[in-house]
Structures are given as C-alpha cells and as structure tokens.
C-alpha cells in the first residue's frame, strides 16, 4: 500500500508547518514512512493503516515542545479512526503505546515479560514520540492497539484515550470507603477524572465523596455534570481554609502552583496526573515520573512492600543513594539485596551481568535529598531510562533538613507527615469501554458537556489556539 498526503507538523517553537508524508508497505512486511521525500521512520511488521475520523486536543499536545521527544512530528493521540482495505467500514479507538505486545511480536522484551509492556524503553508513542499521530489524515497503528468500537457512540469514543487515562488514576489510587477525594483543575482531564470517579463509584457500589476544585464559572457547572458532589471555587475560598481536607487530591492542573496547592490540600495522597515538563516545587523530572508511573513515598519499612495492587511480585533489589542514614541501610540489608552509591554507580550496576537476565531496574530506590529524586527518575541526559522500575517507588529519607531548604521544604514537610505522591499514565481501553457501557448517564454527559469546540482538519492551528484558551474544555478536530 502507498498512502501519500499532506499534514501539519508540530515544531519546537510551538508552531505548525505543512509537510508531505508517504506510508509505503503493509502489515506483514513493515512500513517506510517518508517525510518531504526523505525516510522519517522505518517500521517492522504489525501495523495497520487507518483513516483518521477525529482527534482531540490534549494538554500534552499543548505542552508537546517541553517533552523529551524529537520534533517535528504529526502530534495528536486521542484518535477515533476507521479501517481501510479489509477493515473498511469498521471504527477503532487507538491505544497509544507502540510496543512488542501491541505489534503482536513473538519475541517480547523484559518489560513485556514483567507485565509492563507500555514501559518498554524501545516503545514509540502515537502522536508523542516519533509515530505520526492523529492530526494527520492517516495513521499507522500497532495491530493490537486498534480496539474495535462497540457499544459506545463515536461522540464519546473520541474521548476514549483520555477517559482511559483518567480511569487509570482511579485504578492506581482508588478511594477507600468513607474517603473525601478532590479533583484539582476539572477542565479537560480533570472533568474526565470526575466522570471516571463517578462511574467507578456507581459500578462498584463504593462509598466516597467527590469534590471539584476550580477557579472558573464554566467549570463549576461542568464539574457537577461530570459527577462532582461539591465544587470549591478558589476565587471565594482560600487554599489555607481547606488545607488537609481531602484524602486524595488528583492534580490535573499541569502547573507548579496547582501542584503546590495539591500538596497543601491533601491529608494522605496526591495523585499527579499531568505536568508541564518543568521543575515543580523544586523537583526535577516530574513529567517523567508520570510517564513511568512512579511513586514518591516517605521511607518506612511498610513502604518497602509497595507495588501496584494487581501486580504479583516482591521487591528484591534496592538501590540506596549516598547520604541515606546508616539506620535505614541496616534495616534494608536484613530483607533486601542492597546496592549503594551515586547515579553513575547505579547505572553501571544495571548494565552489569547481574541484571542481564532480569528487568534492568531496581525495585526501589532510597534517596536522601531532592536532587536524588530527580536522578532516580532520569539519571542521565543521554537517555530516558530511570533507575527504578516503572510503577515502582522512590523512598525518601527526610532526616537531613539542610538538603531540603527553600522551595523543596514543602515536599519535605509533606513526606514527613507520612503522605505520598503517586502518578499514572495510560489506561485500559477495554475497561474504559466497559465502564462507559455500564454508566450511560455519564457517557451522555461526556458527549453533551465535555466537547466545547469542533474544527475541521484544515483549521488545525485555530483548534490548537482555541484549546489553549481557559474558556475551552475539549477541542476536537474532525477529518470527515
């Protein structure tokens, strides 16, 4: 097959330019993607061509230039598409991670074997990392990432990727009975988290209260439509008045001020769902923390058992940074295989024969200062590999107060009180579809209230600018 078309590339200066693309190949033999006549990307077998029907504009698209992935690129990852050739007439929603498992490769890597295929370092990501996205008229989707659309309307289906991502936050940080949880910044993703919380509560018969926290009139009503029991308007209520009020705060603001507010509002946990690629509260690489779905926890022996709820594994290998107290080291050595040193030592250990037959990451990393948190997440500017396994945890020894002065003091105080920071990224489309089928009222609210603007594909730049405006919620680009 040969598909030739023009599309708007996104550039590092936050602008777009037209480029000519060509997809040459087939599912069995692989594909060559050409851009302006030169090879842009070579893909092996396991991809099917699809025609874009519509694509949503996400906060990640708006902040794409801050992310550590190459540009230019056709961005856009909230895709509803229809089939070509033997799939003609069928509609699909697209999971965004291009992995061995998604392509149906019979030779998975260690990350697939460990049950975390979406965290493989070799993965590409539709519309985010190299693989051309949904703001072009055609995409190449890994065959197992194209999920047939059944039982959900196309209006709601274009929201499937962000709804699944929102639901992942609930799966990773589920409210406990009697909890009072809050969604900070109930705009695009925040509204979807409200909907996911409401759907999750109804389907599971759970008992918890949901509050939305905003500063905008139009989001007050939207939050109630999405399932919030209460709405706090920060133009009227000062953050100090509701400090330590909410068991879990799901922060979707993508701002430093929002993250700092979340730390003050939570009495148990902050779930960080999106960031802007920049330093927040003195911590580096929080965007990558979310990408890797990592957690930051205060050091205590109970937290050395940390793993995601549905994972069946036991932590074994622990890396301890310089400066961690001798008491902690002594405790850890009684139960774990301990490695010590700095980030250079850690990388050398992971590259050694000792880790050649297992996942090349530590199960846990223990740090003594905020700089080491960032180094645990991204120890080396030349690659995107963390020291700690995806969905693992960084445990923090906060005893050395000298290392926690200035803007990081808020983080130290938060962790000293036993509170936790968690994160999550992409979600399970099958689970998201099932939840929407179970909750038609929420699905109807998504269709009716969440999509604020639609633009034809030749108005992509106008759509992108509109999505940046505070008054917009979800902007959709239509190709038909």
For residue 324, the enclosing domain spans: 296-403
pTM higher than 0.85: yes
Question: Is residue 76 predicted with pLDDT exceeding 90?
Answer: yes
**What is the tally of structural domains in the chain?**
2
Helix extents (H) in 312-363 = 326-333, 343-350
Q: Which range has the worst mean pLDDT, 87-101, 276-290, 379-393?
A: 276-290
Residues 319, 119: Cα–Cα separation, whole Å: 20
Which of 114, 149, 184 terminates a domain? The answer is: 149
**Residue 34 burial class via C-beta count within 10 angstroms: exposed 0-12, middle 13-18, buried 19 and up:** middle
Length of the chain: 480
The set of long-range contacts for 264-270, using a CB threshold of 8 Å and a minimum separation of 24, is 264/239, 264/240, 264/410, 265/182, 265/184, 265/213, 265/239, 266/414, 266/419, 267/419, 268/419, 268/420, 269/173, 269/419, 269/420, 269/421, 269/422, 270/414, 270/419, 270/420, 270/421, 270/422
pLDDT, tens only, 432-466: 999 999 999 989 989 888 999 999 999 999 999 99
Question: Is residue 241 predicted with pLDDT exceeding 80?
Answer: yes
What pLDDT is attached to residue 375? 97
Residue 31 maps to a domain:
yes
Give the strand pairing for 179-184 and 362-367. Answer: unpaired
Q: Which range has the worst mean pLDDT, 217-226, 296-305, 449-458?
A: 217-226
Q: Determine contact, residues 269/287, Cβ cutoff 8 Å.
A: no
Single out the residue of 5, 29, 33 nearest to residue 19, CA to CA. 5
Residue 25 maps to a domain:
yes
Residues 367, 348: Cα–Cα separation, whole Å: 18
* Phi, psi for residue 251 in degrees, rounded to 5: -90, 115
pLDDT confidence tier of residue 50, bands split at 50, 70 and 90: very high
Residues 347, 372: Cα–Cα separation, whole Å: 14
Residue 388 maps to a domain:
yes
Q: Determine contact, residues 192/59, Cβ cutoff 8 Å.
A: no
Question: Is residue 188 predicted with pLDDT exceeding 90?
Answer: no
Question: Is residue 304 predicted with pLDDT exceeding 80?
Answer: yes
Residue 473 maps to a domain:
no
Which of 372, 403, 434 terminates a domain? The answer is: 403
pLDDT, tens only, 330-382: 999 999 999 999 999 999 999 999 999 899 999 999 999 999 999 999 999 99
Question: Is residue 276 predicted with pLDDT exceeding 80?
Answer: no
What average pLDDT score do residues 233-242 get?
Answer: 93
Q: Name the CA radius of gyration of the chain, rounded.
A: 22
**135-144 b/e with 16+ CB inside 10 Å = b?**
bbbbbbbbeb
Question: Is residue 89 predicted with pLDDT exceeding 90?
Answer: no
Sign of the four-CA dihedral 252, 430, 435, 266: negative
Query: Domain with 126 in it: what CATH number?
Result: 3.90.180.10
Residue 344 maps to a domain:
yes
What pLDDT is attached to residue 391? 96
Express as a percent the part of the chain with pLDDT over 70: 100
Residue 186 maps to a domain:
no
* Phi, psi for residue 434 in degrees, rounded to 5: -60, -40
Which of 351, 374, 403 terminates a domain? The answer is: 403
Q: Please identify which residue in the block is written with the tokens 């705009």.
A: 187
- Mean model confidence pLDDT for the chain: 94
Q: Determine contact, residues 95/148, Cβ cutoff 8 Å.
A: no
Residue 221 maps to a domain:
no
């Amino acid at each position: 097959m040969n598909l030739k078309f023009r599309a708007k590339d996104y550039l590092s200066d936050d602008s777009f330019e037209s480029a000519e693309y060509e997809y040459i190949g087939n599912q069995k033999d692989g594909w060559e993607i050409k851009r302006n006549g030169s090879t842009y990307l070579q893909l092996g077998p396991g991809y099917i061509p699809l025609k874009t029907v519509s694509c949503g504009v996400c906060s990640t698209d708006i902040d794409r230039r801050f992310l550590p992935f190459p540009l230019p690129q056709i961005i856009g990852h909230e895709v509803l598409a229809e089939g070509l050739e033997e799939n003609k007439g069928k509609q699909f929603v697209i999971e965004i991670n291009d992995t061995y498992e998604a392509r149906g490769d019979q030779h998975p890597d260690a990350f697939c074997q460990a049950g975390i295929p979406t965290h493989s370092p070799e993965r590409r990501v539709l519309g985010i990392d190299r693989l051309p996205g949904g703001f072009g008229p055609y995409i190449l989707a890994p065959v197992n990432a194209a999920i047939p659309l059944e039982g959900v309307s196309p209006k709601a289906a274009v929201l499937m990727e962000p709804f699944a991502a929102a639901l992942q936050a609930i799966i990773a940080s589920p409210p406990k009975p009697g909890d009072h949880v809050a969604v900070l910044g109930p705009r695009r993703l925040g509204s979807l988290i409200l909907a996911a919380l409401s759907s999750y509560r109804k389907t599971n018969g759970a008992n918890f209260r949901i509050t939305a926290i905003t500063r905008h009139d139009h989001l007050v009503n939207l939050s109630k439509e999405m399932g919030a029991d209460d709405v706090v308007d920060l133009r009227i209520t000062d953050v100090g008045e509701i400090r330590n009020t909410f068991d879990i705060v799901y922060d979707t603001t993508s701002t430093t001020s929002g993250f700092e507010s979340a730390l003050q509002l939570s009495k148990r946990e902050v779930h960080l769902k999106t960031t802007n690629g920049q330093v927040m509260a003195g911590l580096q690489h929080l965007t990558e923390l979310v990408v890797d779905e990592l957690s930051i926890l205060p050091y205590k022996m109970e937290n050395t058992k940390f793993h995601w709820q549905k994972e069946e594994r036991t932590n074994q290998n622990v890396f301890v940074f310089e400066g961690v107290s001798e008491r902690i080291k002594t405790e850890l050595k009684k139960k774990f295989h301990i490695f010590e040193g700095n980030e250079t030592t850690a990388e050398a250990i992971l590259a050694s024969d000792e880790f050649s037959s297992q996942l090349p990451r530590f199960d846990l990393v223990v740090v003594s200062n905020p700089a080491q948190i960032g180094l645990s997440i991204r120890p080396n500017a030349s690659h995107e590999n963390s020291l700690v396994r995806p969905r693992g945890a960084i445990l923090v020894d906060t005893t050395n107060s000298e290392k926690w002065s200035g803007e990081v003091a808020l983080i130290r105080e938060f962790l000293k009180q036993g509170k936790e920071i968690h994160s999550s990224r992409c979600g399970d489309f099958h689970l998201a579809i099932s939840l929407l089928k179970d909750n038609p009222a929420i699905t109807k609210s998504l269709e009716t209230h969440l999509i604020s603007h639609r633009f034809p594909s030749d108005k992509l730049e106008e759509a992108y600018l509109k999505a940046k405006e505070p008054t917009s919620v979800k902007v959709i680009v239509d190709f038909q």
